Amino acid sequence: MPDPAPPNPPRHIAVIMDGNGRWAQARGLPRLEGHRAGAESVRRIVELCSEFKIPHLTLYAFSTENWNRPRAEVEALMLLLERFLKERAKDLHKHKIRLHAIGQLERLPAGPAGELRRVMEATRLHAAGTLTLALSYGSRDEITAAVRRIAEEAVRGELRPEEITEDTVATHLQTAGLPEPDLLIRTSGEMRLSNFMLWQLSYAELYVTPCLWPDFGREEFMLALEEYGRRKRRFGGV
C-alpha cells in the first residue's frame, strides 16, 4: 500500500548528498562504488518527489571544492556523471521533469558537459517538475558573480545603488526563476552548509540525518517530510 501524501509538503527540496565515501569504506569497497550507489539514491529521490508531487528538487552533486580531490577520483566522478545523464534521461521524460544545472559549468569536461546540454535541451518543455543539479557549484562564487554583474550595471548607469534590493540580488543568482528551498536535507550527520545555496536557504527548514546518502530511500524520505510537516514556519514572525 503506497504511503499517504504528507500534508503541506515542501514545494522545493534541496539536498546535500553526503556519505558516499564512508559508505564504501565501511564495506571495504573503493570510494567510486559509494558514488555509484549514491547515483541510485538520486534515482530514488527523483521518483519520490514525482510521486508526492514536489515540483522542485536541487541536488548538490559536485562542489567547486571537489575539484581539489585526487585527479583519478574527479575523472571517475565525471565519467559517472556522464553515464548517469545518459541512463537516467528516460526517467526525466517519464515523469515530465525538466533538467536544470547551476555552477561553473564551463569547467566540466567535454563529455559530461555535452550530455548535460543534450538532456537539458531534450527536457526543457517538461512542466511536472524541475531537477536542478549543482555542478562545480559554490555559493560564495555565485553571490560574488551576482554582485559583480550588479556593479557593472550600476557603472553603466542602468541601476542606481538605492534601487538595489534583495530581489535585485536574487534575480542575478543562477537560481533566478526557481522558488527558494523550503527544506534542506543533509545526509551523514554533518552539521554545515558546505557553501551550498547560502542566500537561497535563508529560511529553509533543516533536516540532518546520520543516514549515509547511498542508504537514503523511501523510509528516510518520509521521515524528512514528516518532520517538515511538524515545523512551524514563522519567517521571523510570531
User: Is a pLDDT exceeding 60 seen at residue 238?
Assistant: no
Residue from 3, 18, 68, 182 carrying the catalytic annotation: 18
pLDDT digits (tens, 9 = 90+) for 168-221: 999 999 999 999 999 999 999 999 999 999 999 999 999 999 999 999 999 999
In this predicted structure, what is the pLDDT of residue 237? 59
CATH architecture for residues 12-137+180-230: 3-Layer(aba) Sandwich (3.40)
Active site residue 141: no
User: Given the DSSP bridges, would you call strands 56-63 and 12-16 parallel, antiparallel or unpaired?
Assistant: parallel
CB atoms within 10 A of CB 73: 15
Active site residue 3: no
Sheet of 129-137, strand order: 97-102, 129-137, 56-63, 12-16, 183-186, 205-208
Rounded to the nearest integer, the mean pLDDT of the chain is: 95
- Mean pLDDT for the stretch of residues 34-38: 96
pLDDT digits (tens, 9 = 90+) for 116-168: 999 999 999 999 999 999 999 999 999 999 999 999 999 999 999 999 999 99
In this predicted structure, what is the pLDDT of residue 117? 98
Domain ranges of the chain: 12-137+180-230
Residue from 66, 91, 141, 195 carrying the catalytic annotation: 66
